[in-house]
Amino acid sequence: MPSLKDFEESVKRPTWCPGCGNYAMWRALKHALERLGLDFHEFVVVWGIGCHGNGADFLRCQGFHALHGRSLPVATGIALTNPELKVIVEAGDGDAYGLGLGHFVHSTRRNVDMTLIAHNNQIYGLTTGQVSPTSDHLMKTVSTPSGVLEWPVNPTGLAIAQEATFVARGFAGDIEQLTDLYVAAIEHPGFAVVDVFQPCVTWNKVNTFKWFRERVYKLEEKEGYDPTDREAAFVESLSTFHDLVCTPDECRVPTGVFLRIEGEETYQEGLEQLDGPMWRKAEAPRDVTAVMDEYLT
């Protein structure tokens, strides 16, 4: 099985800004892959477009660098045609919750067995710092100089409202927890969402590492928190809606597993015809006589 170093061999060195949260996420993913003991031919990683997506050049694997916002449907096409592959999606917040929001919610209710890791830096990194769908209310950016008038997308809340079976949140300041979350998510049968706060040190001067360090708490350490309780999970998700000036006491940000429901059927399990890689169906012409006969008069 490949080890940490193998995932970096013969690929490019990361070009993210020094201090960028993407480094931690990159490391955590490699740790998780190593811990899961996945061989190179057993998993596929799909990336969207953005700073996070540049990571496609930094990981040795079977990879697909898709369009901005469309990594989930590409991944779905992969997952629904080869059940022997683990499918991991790395998306940005713009990617997953902006123009890709529809795919996000539909993937959730579809419960396709695959994992979404969202690099949530609350900003458009690669396109130089415009508002993202998760930017805080009233944040000023180059595309919203008078302040963002929307409230941020609540990805965990949406997933929870939409019958998700695995919803978690990580923070790039905690690689260990992140690695655990990745492992749990990839092992989870069904659609697993890991929303990760990934500070963008260049464009987002509000939601910094420090900002988060002062505010995060772990759900697993919260007295009596039950990650199978959808309503409790929903309440935790509302922490998304803080404003720019909230103090560390006022706005607390949970990390960890919000929700984990075991035993739900995955989309793939519902597909009787998915009895192996679907390319096998094209090993020779298919016999269609019986179908054609329906048109015989």
Partner 1 sequence: MAETSAPYSVEEVRIKIGGQAGFGIKASGQMLARAFVSAGLNTFDLTEYPSLIRGGHNVFGVRVGPEPVPSQVEPVDVLVALNQETIDLHLDELGDGAAVIFDPSEAEGPAGARGVPVPLDEFAETAGAKIMRNTVALGAVLALLDFPMEPLEESVRRQFSHKKPEVADGNVEAARAGYEHVREHSPEPVRRLVPVAGAAPQLLIDGNSAVGLGALAAGIGFYAAYPMTPATSLLHFMAAHERDRGVVVKHAEDELAAMNMVVGASFTGTRAMCGTSGGGFALMTEAFGLAGVAESAVVVMVSQRPGPATGLPTWTEQADLRMVIHAAQGEFPRVILAPGDHTQCFEFAWRAFDLADRLQTPVVLMLDNYLSENRASVPVLDTGAVTVDRGDIVTAGHVGEGYLRYRVTDDGVSTRAVPGVRGALQLTNSYDHDEYGFANEDAAMRDAQEEKRMRKLALARGLVPPPLVEGADDASVGLIVWGSTTMPARQALEWLAMEGVPARMLQVTTLEPFPADAVVRFIEGTPRTMVVEGNMTGQLESLIREHCLLEPDDSLRRYDGRPLAPEGILERAKEVASRA
- Structure token pair of residue 109: 């209710």
Closest CA to 277 of 78, 63, 75: 78
DSSP state of 141: B
User: Which of a second copy, ligand SF4, Mg ion, none lies near 282, with the C-beta cut-off 5 to 8 A by kind?
Assistant: none
Q: Which of 5, 210, 213, 281 binds partner 1 (CB under 8 A)?
A: 281
Which residue lies nearer to Mg ion by CB, 93 or 113?
93
Report in angstroms the alpha-carbon separations of 9 from 3, 57, 102: 10, 11, 36
214 binds a second copy (CB under 8 A): no
DSSP state of 243: B
- Structure token pair of residue 10: 């013969």
Residue list 108-137, contact with ligand SF4 (CB under 6 A): 121, 125
User: How many residues interact with a second copy (rule CB under 8 A)?
Assistant: 36
Residue list 114-143, contact with Mg ion (CB under 5 A): 121, 125, 132
Select from 24-32, 66-74, 212-220, 228-236 the region that touches partner 1 (CB under 8 A): 66-74
191-197 and 216-218 beta bridge pairing: unpaired
Residue list 200-239, contact with ligand SF4 (CB under 6 A): 200-203
Which residues are paired to 32 by β-bridges?
Answer: none
Distance CA 115, CA 192 (A): 5
Minimum CB–partner distance for residue 9 and a second copy (Å)? 39
User: Which of ligand TPP, a second copy, ligand SF4, none lies near 201, with the C-beta cut-off 5 to 8 A by kind?
Assistant: ligand SF4
Select from 18-26, 96-104, 173-181, 211-219 the region that touches a second copy (CB under 8 A): 96-104
92 binds Mg ion (CB under 5 A): yes
Closest CA to 160 of 218, 253, 234: 234
